[in-house]
Amino acid sequence: MDPEPAAPEARRPLILVVEDEPQVMRVLRAALPGHGYRVAEATSGGQALVEAATRTPDLVLLDLGLPDLDGVEVTRRLREWSRVPVIVISAREQENDKIQALDAGADDYITKPFATGELLARIRVALRNAARAAPDGESTFETGELRVDLGAQRVFVAGEEVRLTRTEYRLLAALVRQAGRVVTHRQLLQEVWGPGAIDQAHYVRIYMGQLRHKLERDPARPRYLLTETGVGYRLKED
């Protein structure tokens, strides 16, 4: 597993830009970091799927006209395992193109040439909507002394903020979204690390141990992060 960034850096949203036009890529590469985003890049559909699985971005900006896979097909494949927000950026202006992309699972569609300000506004909306995708439509989850603010991506125990790495937070958020339910090892691996990691069960075990040391009073006797032997884990719900 790759080394994780420091916590403040980890909380900056990561945007995967999937674009094969160098000029557009340069514009986005220059604009996004200045507004608080980290950037990962892909120039083909195949590379996009690998990057999405390994980097677990917070949002994907996706061109439709890629050299290998059409962007609509990339969106369909992403939706087989990920709920990451997808904003299509394309020169295709026909209504049918937009419908196909949205039906495949894209969250929004913007045509080229685009205004950077409008794109940034749509990114903010998509990230806010994703943050609200929590149990019962709430953006804050509480059980005992544990509070998870999904909107702000902040975690508290007994009123004190706990710093989590990016992967630790994604694992906790996956359990929060299914609070009270058993989530299998496979489900967690797909959601947090992507389909390429479904045979790496030790990932979940290692990061669950790290989470317990940060969130539980007694990691050996967890109150919140419960093991369902041989199946997966469950976040205790009050």
User: Could you read off the pLDDT of 124-169 as tens digits, one per residue?
Assistant: 988 887 776 544 445 788 999 999 988 788 999 999 999 999 889 9
Residue 52: CB atoms within 10 Å: 26
pLDDT of residue 100 exceeding 50, the answer is: yes
* Residue 110, φ and ψ in degrees, nearest 5: -130, 140
Tell me, yes or no, whether 38 and 150 share the same domain: no
Last residue of one domain, picked from the residues 131, 148, 164: 131
pTM: 0.60
- What tokens appear for 184 in the block? 């299998």
The count of structural domains within the chain is 2
CA distance 135 to 75: 25
Burial class (CB in 10 A: 0-12, 13-18, 19+), 161: exposed
Last residue of one domain, picked from the residues 131, 146, 179: 131
Give the structural domain span for 148: 135-235
1 domain residue, yes or no: no
Tell me, yes or no, whether 59 and 127 share the same domain: yes
| Mean pLDDT value across residues 56-62 | 94
**Residue partners of 55: CB distance under 8 A and separation at least 6:** 14, 16, 40
Q: Which of 170, 220, 216, 179 is nearest to 197 (CA)?
A: 170
Tell me, yes or no, whether 127 and 192 share the same domain: no
Last residue of one domain, picked from the residues 88, 114, 131: 131
